[in-house]
Amino acid sequence: MSLRLRLVATLGITLMLLWGLTAAWSMRDLSSQLERSLDQRLAQSARMVAGLLDRVPAAAWDGEMGETSTIPALEGVACRVSSLRGQVVAGTHPEMNDVLAVDDEGYSYRDHNGQRWRVYTLVDDDKRITVADRLRERESLLAQVRRAAFYPFLLASIGSLIALWWGVTRGLSPLSRLQRRLMSRDHDDLSALPIRGLPGEIRPLIDGFNTLLARTRRMLELEQRFTDDAAHELRTPLTAIRTHLQIARRVDGDPHQQAMQQAEAGVARLTKTLDQLLLLARMESEEVAQGSVDPTRLGEALEAAMVETGSRERCHWRASVDRLHVALSGELLVIALRNLLENAMRHGLPDTPIEIEAQRMNGLAVIDIVNQGETIPPEQIARLTERFHRGNHPQGSGLGLSIVETIATRAGGSLRLASGDGIGLRVTLSLPLA
């Protein structure tokens, strides 16, 4: 149900009820007021007749005695003057005895020929004066008054309903504008919606919406960059392979051999990049279990990693390394260390030692791998763990540090990088202790 319809319905029904109640109340009030004032007029006319009769000498009465004077009748009004003994002195409607022959003083209702009358009887000294109003006249008067009062009511109610509709529509117009703006946007338009001119109630909503849009935009950008990077990393070795194979087909002898070697080197590089990519994808999708794995002795894993990377000659490590047990599967720990050692070999100056230290700290095994070399500026350091960021070392796949960081954070640890003060790169890998 639309907001506007709901508002208009709720407010409209309430308004109509209130108007109706007010109208009913005033109508009821009106009829009782009208009845009272008409009754008063009836009584006044009786008193007026009595006053008039007082001025007539009593002789005039007696002289005429025995003969009833009849006044020509008026439609809907009747009057009779009689003596206390019941003898009619003067009056209208001599035939309306059942209405006008009243003994008691005061108001009463009487019927005559199926019509109702309001009767008032006044007893004044020796006379009884009875006046009567036909109710039909009273009712038609009441109806006229009611009609006169009803039309303004009706007009006011219709007017307020229209005003209500207009007001609600106007009040909701920022929402309609917003709706139109949203509908007219391109489906892939992720730019923020303008906040200016929006009422305070909607602003937090649009603020939230814009934050969401910004986050989506950032995610899409990252996604796009990753796709571009992956395309570049996979297509470049493919280009080398294809080009060299085409050359090999056209030349003989040494150049042929060279071209074939280049093509094979390209295949090796592509394989390595693919392996790393798949590994990264596996790391990101699989749970790197915490706690449930068999603890791995750091010394063993380091040994394996050094053998795999051929870096044993250059590595210097302390005995403390052997005593630590890490809550990470042996396979993953070797992958992480291997990537870090490869990186140290590549970045470090040739023939300089790679220092490895390990210690316990706050329930974590903190492993430092330090190589000598050029200082890396801080803004570069921050980008080193980005996927496919290779710094100035085109040999690598650009995924090694990303893989290590993924392994570390998944296992509940962390990876920190630092450079400077004679140190080329200090990689600090923190992993939970077993």
Indicate whether 246 belongs to the interface with other proteins (CB under 8 A): yes
Q: CB-wise, 45 or 258, nearer to other proteins?
A: 258
What's the closest the beta carbon of residue 223 comes to other proteins, in angstroms? 13
Q: State whether residue 149 is helix, strand or coil.
A: helix
Quick note: the x/- pattern for other proteins over 355-394, rule CB under 8 A, is -------------------------------------x-x
Q: CB-wise, 238 or 434, nearer to other proteins?
A: 238
Quick note: the x/- pattern for other proteins over 253-272, rule CB under 8 A, is --x---x--x--xx--x---
How remote is the C-alpha of 104 from its chain's centroid?
76
What's the closest the beta carbon of residue 241 comes to other proteins, in angstroms? 8
What residues contact 175, with CB distance under 8 A and at least 6 apart?
Answer: 3, 202
Q: CB-wise, 188 or 286, nearer to other proteins?
A: 188
What's the closest the beta carbon of residue 393 comes to other proteins, in angstroms? 11
Stretch that binds other proteins, among 11-19, 203-211, 231-239, 287-295 (CB under 8 A): 231-239
Q: What tokens does 244 get?
A: 């060299």
Among 22, 239, 290, 352, binds other proteins (CB under 8 A): 239
Q: Please list every residue from 388 through 417 that binds other proteins, using CB under 8 A.
A: 392, 394
274-to-91, 122, 398 alpha-carbon distances in Å: 125, 121, 12
The vertex-116 CA angle with 112 and 120, nearest 5°, equals 95
Stretch that binds other proteins, among 127-135, 235-243, 329-337, 413-421 (CB under 8 A): 235-243
Q: CB-wise, 350 or 394, nearer to other proteins?
A: 394
Rounded to whole angstroms, the Cα distance separating 38 from 315 reads: 121
406-to-42, 117, 364, 409, 432 alpha-carbon distances in Å: 104, 103, 17, 5, 14
Tell me the site size for other proteins, rule CB under 8 A: 26
Indicate whether 428 belongs to the interface with other proteins (CB under 8 A): no
Q: CB-wise, 138 or 244, nearer to other proteins?
A: 244
Buried residues in 130-141 as b, exposed as e (16+ CB within 10 A)? bbbbbbeebeee
Q: For the packed helices 253-285 and 203-250, what is the interaxial angle rounded to 10 degrees? A: 150
Q: CB-wise, 170 or 249, nearer to other proteins?
A: 249
Q: What tokens does 111 get?
A: 């019927």
What's the closest the beta carbon of residue 303 comes to other proteins, in angstroms? 33
120-to-30, 54, 154 alpha-carbon distances in Å: 22, 19, 37
What's the closest the beta carbon of residue 267 comes to other proteins, in angstroms? 11
Q: What tokens does 374 get?
A: 């050029």
Decide if 77 contacts 134 (C-beta within 8 A): yes
Q: CB-wise, 197 or 253, nearer to other proteins?
A: 253
How remote is the C-alpha of 411 from its chain's centroid?
38
Q: CB-wise, 164 or 265, nearer to other proteins?
A: 265
Q: State the Rg of the chain over Cα.
A: 54
Among 148, 151, 250, 422, binds other proteins (CB under 8 A): 250
Tell me the sheet residues that pair with 432. Answer: 364
* Interface contacts to other proteins, rule CB under 8 A: 228, 231-232, 234-244, 246-247, 250-251, 255, 259, 262, 265-266, 269, 392, 394
